[in-house]
Amino acid sequence: MIDLIERKKTGKALLPHDIHEWIRGIVAGEIPDYQSAALLMAIRFRGLTEEETFALTVEMIRSGETIDLSSIRSTTADKHSTGGVGDKLSFLIGPMVAACGVPVPMLSGRALGHTGGTLDKLESIPGYQTSLPIERFVEIVKKVGISIVGQTKSLAPADGHLYALRDVTATVDSIPLIVASILSKKIAAGPEAVVFDVKCGDGAILQDGEDTRRLASSLVKVARRLGRKASALITDMSTPLGRTVGNALEIEESILFLRGEADAPDMEEISFALAAEMLLLAGRAESDTEARELLMESLHSGRAAATFQEMIFAHRGDPRVVEDPNILPKARHHKEVKAATGGFVTELPARAVGLAAMRLGAGRGSMEETIHPGAGIKLLRKPGEAVDQGDVLAVLHSDDKEKLKRVEAGFADLFRIEAEAPPARPRILESLRGGGEAGE
């Protein structure tokens, strides 16, 4: 390990055998954390080549079990988001794509910091189980068309160990380590096609456009080398997605979207683009136009909402929430935040809104903290929309009056209100297909 640390510290490449021994030693408990932490920091500063990144991803996949989806005859597809605020797209995209005939096996994570967690949101549905045996997971995908569960300890266990170290050594933002972490979990779960939603902007893990492009390109290239069909969209995360931030609140908004009742053009634009890409990669559609027509029909016919309901039932959740979202948990206390002046909302920073939701109880600063499923924020105004003095900008939800009071104190200041409407911002910034080269 000292030789490996020294080699990477001086900018030299690690050999596949070196990476194999490092990951093997981590899983076997033979390598102390301080040496792995030193190597992670050397990688953070010196980077990894594509060959090194590929080798690291392969070894992390091989560190545990993989899910065999060969009994599913159709091409399976999944979507992965690099994380954001109000990002509930899995609950829109998954049911729509599954309703179009493409099975969606999806492994997801939990909230940490300003970003929300898919599993925490699902667990706000009464009874929903996110931890299932692999056999049951595959069975639900075959029967319903979609299953969303958490990563088991047997899948890519090296990633779990390394991620915990990265979290406490300030190496989370290393692009090759992000690529290996994401792909080791996704490939171990077995999908044949993967679409990556790589967020860029204030609320994203990477805020610089060039870094985001490098991450997206690397994800596509390495995934293809691993035998998967892959593409990526770089999407805007400068402001929260949709009008809700928080677990039960986001599930409710997702249900309204599937029922055709949500007012969220940003959610519609990005979810349709990602879902269409999944249908194209899976061979279900031959053009973007055809894919979007299939997706729209899945919504208008009610099949997408019905698929989400069937998945909830298969996971032992209460399927009535799709017909009556009021069954979802509610926070005990609410507070309206009003505008001090009129004009147009020009900015609403995603990261600050996400942190505010976390402080209300919707997220966690460490994995030991408890989430309150009804806590969160409803946004009644977003950038580009007009507002009059005294209009309600947002409604804060919390079970704790003191938390509510603290967050309320400065929340209105997050809304920048100016006399003129801001120029429209593109929500899809770039698409990367094929070998990972940028394209329209």
Catalogue all structural domains in the chain, each as residue range(s) with its CATH number. 2-62 (1.20.970.10), 77-324 (3.40.1030.10), 331-418 (3.90.1170.30)
**Alpha helix segments (H runs only) across 123-264:** 134-144, 157-168, 175-188, 209-225, 247-258
Q: 403 vs 108, 118, 301, 337, 361, CA distance in Å?
A: 28, 23, 42, 14, 8
Q: Judge whether residue 389 has pLDDT over 70.
A: yes
Q: Judge whether residue 439 has pLDDT over 70.
A: no
Q: Judge whether residue 436 has pLDDT over 70.
A: no
pLDDT in tens, 76-93: 999 999 989 999 999 999
Using an 8 Å Cβ cutoff, are 353 and 414 in contact? yes
Distance between start and end Cα atoms, the chain: 44
- pLDDT band at residue 367 using 50, 70 and 90 as cut-offs: low
Q: Which of 44, 80, 213, 243 is catalytic?
A: 80
Using an 8 Å Cβ cutoff, are 357 and 375 in contact? yes
Largest CA distance in the chain: 65
- Arithmetic mean of pLDDT, 307-323: 98
Q: 130 vs 69, 104, 119, 323, CA distance in Å?
A: 19, 15, 6, 21
Q: Given this model, what pLDDT does residue 67 score? A: 93
Two tokens at 397? 């939800």
Is residue 90 among the annotated active site residues? no
- pLDDT band at residue 437 using 50, 70 and 90 as cut-offs: very low
DSSP 328: S
Q: Given this model, what pLDDT does residue 109 score? A: 83
- Arithmetic mean of pLDDT, 50-70: 95
Distance CA 296, CA 287 (A): 14
Element (H, E) at 409: helix 401-411
Across 143-157, 268-282, 332-346, least confident range = 143-157
Q: Judge whether residue 379 has pLDDT over 90.
A: yes
pLDDT in tens, 117-139: 899 999 999 999 999 999 999 99
Pairing between strand 146-150 and 104-108? parallel
Q: Given this model, what pLDDT does residue 320 score? A: 98
Is residue 388 among the annotated active site residues? no
pLDDT in tens, 187-218: 998 999 999 999 999 999 888 889 999 999 99
**Burial track 340-349 (b if 16+ CB lie within 10 A, e otherwise):** eeebbbbebb
Q: Which of 110, 185, 229, 381 is catalytic?
A: 185
Q: Judge whether residue 364 has pLDDT over 90.
A: no
- φ/ψ of 308, rounded to 5, equals -60, -40
Is residue 80 among the annotated active site residues? yes
- Arithmetic mean of pLDDT, 411-440: 81
Q: Judge whether residue 440 has pLDDT over 50.
A: no
- Arithmetic mean of pLDDT, 30-52: 96
Q: Which of 159, 202, 236, 266 is catalytic?
A: 159
Average pLDDT, whole number, for the chain?
93
Q: Given this model, what pLDDT does residue 77 score? A: 97
- pLDDT band at residue 298 using 50, 70 and 90 as cut-offs: very high
Q: Given this model, what pLDDT does residue 108 score? A: 87
pLDDT: which is higher, 363 or 290: 290
Q: 333 exposed, middle or buried (CB, 10 Å; 0-12, 13-18, 19+)?
A: middle
Distance CA 305, CA 327 (A): 16
Is residue 181 among the annotated active site residues? yes
Q: Which of 166, 243, 303, 427 is catalytic?
A: 166
Q: Given this model, what pLDDT does residue 363 score? A: 86
Strand order, beta sheet including 416-418? 386-387, 343-347, 416-418
Q: Which of 174, 181, 184, 254 is catalytic?
A: 181
Using an 8 Å Cβ cutoff, are 254 and 92 in contact? yes
Taking alpha carbons only, the member of 362, 367, 350 closest to residue 403 is: 362
Q: 350 vs 207, 333, 407, CA distance in Å?
A: 11, 23, 15
Is residue 20 among the annotated active site residues? no
pLDDT: which is higher, 294 or 367: 294
Map tokens 């599937």 to a residue.
258
Q: Given this model, what pLDDT does residue 427 score? A: 95
